[in-house]
Structure formats: structure tokens, C-alpha cells
């Protein structure tokens, strides 16, 4: 008997405030035309001043629990991916745990920036497959608006706030030749690229929160290559080809990166779930937000092959392949 993890529910939360490209063009020297043409972004959601990452995460978690038809008492573990925690410590996951009324089990954060959700999913899957947890809330939640330099047009137009969550549950595989669940995870990092994408602050280095700094074109180049290569790695590990993919749910940083990755793999653009136009880049939240949308609107169906993949600061990158 092999234990596997299947997704039994998903949820999302987006702050109400929509910020359009036109609105940003009043603050910095940019235009709706430039932003749309270079990134595919039309608008993004920005959290209210009184909303923290945990508030977004709690809403997404409650939505995911409702969609799975389970309560917080049924959850053994919360793994929350974020690069914008409420506080330096404790983990934002523990705030979510308290708000859900969950007093047992464990809760912690995972930090891999935009690849955070894939890392969190891999951690949760390992807990389940080892029998250490049976039902896990995996959350990606961010308030990148708090770490943007709102005078830097090269970064402030690219990001948004939001949260997505899934409930992952263990099942005993019954010898099915085509089992459901997470079939493989693939994680990578290469710390030599720190200076291409980082925050110039932190409790130890500068004692400030700092702002996001990015060498966009350099990140772009690595993103297309790394996303295509890790996707190829996931397919090879499962004896599959791009033709086997029903849905690709990539990290949403730039529509051109998504088009470039699909082109490299000769994957039909119709199979790529896109939300970057409305959400912009929500870092660790972008994959669960896109996933939730495609599950809720019925695009993703049981037994579909779904591949999630991401690339972010560090650099970190990774993929998860699931038979839904
Ligand atoms: O989630 C983590 C991963 N992050 C990413 O994957 C982001 C990857 N990078 C990108 O998506 C793209 O590189 C950007 C969207 C950030 C930039 O697009 P680009 O096509 O690479 O533009 P660029 O940086 O080469 O800049 C081209 C021009 C420059 O002007 P000059 O030097 O040609 O006169 C920039 O100053 O566009 C200018 N520019 C802007 N113009 C209007 C840069 N930002 C803006 C802006 N509005 N917001």
C-alpha cells in the first residue's frame, strides 16, 4: 500500500480594493499600455491598511475548509508559504491556527518567495506520505504591497496581494495503475542569484523591513529556462510528455513568461491557467489562487493531469505533478 496526498478542497481570498494600471500611472511614470504589453497585467488587488497577511490567509483557509466539507478540528497541520509574514515571529501560520480555533497539531511558515507554495505543498505531501499528518491546510498568502517601493516603476506595477489555500488529505492507494494524488514534487534553489531579486531589509541585516529589488530582464531569462526545465523534469519522472498535461497552473509573474514556457514545451496556450491579468504577481499566493479558480469554474476535473510550477527569489524553482 502506498500513501498519497489528494486535494479535497480549495479556497481563496482577494482584498476588495482593485488598483488599475491607470491609477498607478498617476503615481509613477508608466502607462496602461506599457504594463499590459510587457506583463499582461491589467489590475491587481491591494490589502487595506488594517489587513495583514494572516487576515487574507484566514479567509482563504476558511473557504478551503468549507469546500472540503471539514472543520478546523479535522486538520493536523498548517503549512503557510509567505515572504510577507505579519511579524518576524511567530509564524503567520500560528495566527491562522488560532483564528480557526485549532488547538491541536502544528503550524509553521515556509519561505521560498514565489516558489513558496510548491515548497509548502512538497513539505505537506511528505508529512502525509510518512503518516505524520492526515489532513493538511496548505496556504499561500502575501501582502507584497507592504514591501514595494511605490516610487520604483520597474517593480511597483508588477505585484498584488491575495491568498489561496488547499486541503490535502492522505489516501491509501489501492493498486490503481493510474493513481490519483500528488505523483511527484521537484524542488531547486541556487543561492548565487540573490542579487537579482531580494528585499533590501531584514531584522538581522538592516533592522528595517526594506523594499523589493529586482533585475527584471535577468529574472525573466532564468524564469523561462527554469520553469521549462523543471516541468520537463516532472514529466520525465512520470514517463509523461507535454501532451499528457491537461492543465498547467504556473506561478503568475508575467504573461510573456507563461507564453514562453508553453512555447518551449509545445504546450497549447489553452491548457495554461492565467490569472496574472487580474491578480498581477501575488508571489506564493498566485498558484493556489489560479488553481482554485480553475477548480471552481470546472476546468480542472477528477483524474486530470495538473502540473504546478514556479520560480522566484533565491533563486528557487519547483514543480508538482498531480493526477487530480
Ligand atoms: O515572481 C518572481 C519572478 N519575477 C519575474 O518573473 C519577473 C521577471 N521579469 C519581468 O517580468 C520583466 O523583465 C519586467 C516586466 C520586469 C520588465 O520587462 P522588460 O521587457 O524586461 O523591460 P526592461 O526592464 O528591459 O525595460 C525596458 C524599458 C526600460 O526603459 P529604457 O531603458 O529602454 O529606456 C525601462 O526603464 O522599459 C522601462 N520601464 C518602464 N516603462 C514604463 C521599466 N518599467 C516600466 C514601467 N513603465 N512600469
Residue to mutate (ligand 1; options 38, 284, 310, 313; most atoms within 8 A of CB): 38
Backbone angles phi and psi of 268, in degrees to 5? -60, 130
Q: What is the CATH number of domain 181-323?
A: 3.40.47.10
As its CATH architecture, domain 3-172 has 3-Layer(aba) Sandwich (3.40)
Res. 174: pLDDT tops 90: no
Ligand 1 pocket check for 108: Cβ under 6 Å: no
pLDDT tens-digit readout, 232-283: 999 999 999 999 999 999 999 999 999 998 998 899 999 999 999 999 999 9
Res. 1: pLDDT tops 80: no
Ligand 1 pocket check for 257: Cβ under 6 Å: yes
Residues of the chain with CATH 3.40.47.10: 3-172, 181-323
Nearest C-alpha neighbor of 187 from the set 315, 318, 320, 322: 318
**pLDDT recorded at residue 57:** 99
Ligand 1 pocket check for 193: Cβ under 6 Å: no
Question: For residues 300 and 324, is the Cβ–Cβ distance under 8 A?
Answer: yes
Alpha helices (H) along the chain:
21-25, 32-39, 53-68, 92-100, 116-129, 153-156, 216-237, 255-264, 276-279, 286-296
Q: What mean pLDDT do residues 221-228 have?
A: 93
The residue whose CA has the least distance to atom 35 of ligand 1 is 154
Ligand 1 pocket check for 281: Cβ under 6 Å: yes
Question: For residues 147 and 212, is the Cβ–Cβ distance under 8 A?
Answer: yes
Find the catalytic residue in 114, 156, 196, 292.
114
Nearest C-alpha neighbor of 183 from the set 103, 269, 256, 244: 244
At 76 the three-state DSSP class reads: coil
Amino acid at each position: 500500500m502506498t500513501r498519497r496526498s489528494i486535494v479535497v478542497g480549495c479556497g481563496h481570498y482577494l482584498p476588495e480594493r482593485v488598483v488599475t494600471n491607470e491609477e498607478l500611472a498617476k503615481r509613477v511614470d508608466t502607462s496602461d499600455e506599457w504594463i499590459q504589453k510587457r506583463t499582461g497585467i491589467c489590475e491587481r488587488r491591494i490589502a487595506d491598511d488594517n489587513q495583514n497577511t494572516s487576515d487574507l490567509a484566514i479567509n482563504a483557509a476558511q473557504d478551503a475548509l468549507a469546500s472540503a466539507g471539514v472543520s478546523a478540528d479535522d486538520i493536523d497541520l498548517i503549512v503557510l508559504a509567505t515572504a510577507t509574514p505579519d511579524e518576524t515571529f511567530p509564524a503567520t501560520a500560528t495566527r491562522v491556527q488560532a483564528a480557526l480555533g485549532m488547538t491541536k497539531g502544528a503550524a509553521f511558515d515556509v519561505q521560498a518567495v514565489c516558489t513558496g507554495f510548491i515548497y509548502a505543498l512538497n513539505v505537506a505531501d511528505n508529512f502525509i506520505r510518512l503518516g505524520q499528518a492526515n489532513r493538511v491546510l496548505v496556504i499561500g498568502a502575501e501582502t507584497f504591497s507592504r514591501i514595494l517601493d511605490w516610487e520604483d516603476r520597474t517593480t511597483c506595477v508588477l505585484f498584488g496581494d491575495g491568498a489561496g489555500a488547499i486541503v490535502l488529505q492522505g489516501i491509501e492507494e489501492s493498486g490503481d495503475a493510474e493513481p490519483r494524488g500528488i505523483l511527484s514534487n521537484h524542488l531547486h534553489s541556487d543561492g548565487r542569484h540573490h542579487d537579482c531579486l531580494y528585499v533590501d531589509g531584514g531584522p538581522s541585516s538592516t533592522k528595517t523591513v526594506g523594499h523589493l529589488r529586482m533585475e527584471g530582464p535577468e529574472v525573466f531569462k532564468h524564469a523561462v529556462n527554469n520553469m521549462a526545465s523543471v516541468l520537463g523534469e516532472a514529466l520525465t519522472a512520470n514517463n509523461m510528455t507535454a501532451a499528457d498535461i491537461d492543465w498547467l497552473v504556473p506561478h503568475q509573474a508575467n504573461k510573456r513568461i507563461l507564453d514562453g514556457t508553453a512555447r518551449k514545451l509545445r504546450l497549447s496556450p489553452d491548457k495554461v491557467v492565467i490569472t496574472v491579468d487580474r491578480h498581477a504577481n501575488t508571489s506564493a499566493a498566485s498558484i493556489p489562487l489560479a488553481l482554485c479558480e480553475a477548480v471552481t469554474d470546472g476546468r480542472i476535473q477528477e483524474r486530470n493531469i495538473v502540473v504546478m510550477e514556479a520560480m522566484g527569489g533565491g533563486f528557487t524553482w519547483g514543480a508538482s505533478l498531480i493526477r487530480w
